[in-house]
Structure 1
Amino acid sequence: MEWQKYIVADNAILLGKPTVKGTRISVEHIVGLLANGWTEHQILENYPRLSPESLQAVFAYIHECLKDGLLYSNPISEQS
């Protein structure tokens, strides 16, 4: 999946947060919906400008950020 075709960041839109191209829907917002129990079907139904491919791009983008260590600054360690 080439997420770059679907996810963009523009300082003039939502202060540069990554968004789905052609919308003002941020990756953060979509992840928040999923974290609150929304299904992919519910998201697509409530946000008709999104497509199944754009949702897949959100997942691919998050995966790449995690893989590259961009979402955390300290290694995860066990607490004593």
Structure 2
Amino acid sequence: MNPKIMGGRPVIRGTRITVELVLRKLGADMMVQEILADHPTLEADDIRASRAFAADYLAGEEFVDL
């Protein structure tokens, strides 16, 4: 994350593709190969890293049961 790139939002290394975008595409049931076709600068490892980042981020969060 760099405050000068995409407003500090987490991005895939060396790109301006946000982790959020990748996760939203996965959440919309896009296949990894479809995401890679949409974004040729990405690699399958980048998508795995996005998932790992999200899991690590959520592991540090505290949720309040409403």
* Residue 35 (str. 1) matches residue 27 (str. 2): yes
Q: Structure 1: which 5+ residue stretches go unaligned?
A: 1-8
Which residue type is aligned with residue 58 of structure 2?
Answer: L
Q: How far 1:31 sits from its partner (Å)?
A: 1.1
Q: For this pair of structures, how many residues does the alignment match?
A: 66
Q: RCO higher in 1 or 2 (8 Å CA, sep ≥ 6)?
A: 1
Q: Structure 2: which 5+ residue stretches go unaligned?
A: none
* Stretch deviating more after TM superposition (26-35 or 14-23): 26-35
**TM-score (norm: length of structure 1):** 0.74
**What residue in structure 1 maps to residue 52 of structure 2?**
60
Which residue type is aligned with residue 14 of structure 2?
Answer: G
More strand by share: 1
Q: How far 1:51 sits from its partner (Å)?
A: 0.6
The structure number with the bigger radius of gyration is: 1
Q: Percent identity?
A: 26
**What residue in structure 2 maps to residue 6 of structure 1?**
none
The structure 1 segments of at least 4 consecutive aligned residues displaced by more than 4 Å after TM superposition are none
**TM-score (norm: length of structure 2):** 0.87
CA RMSD of aligned residues (A): 1.4
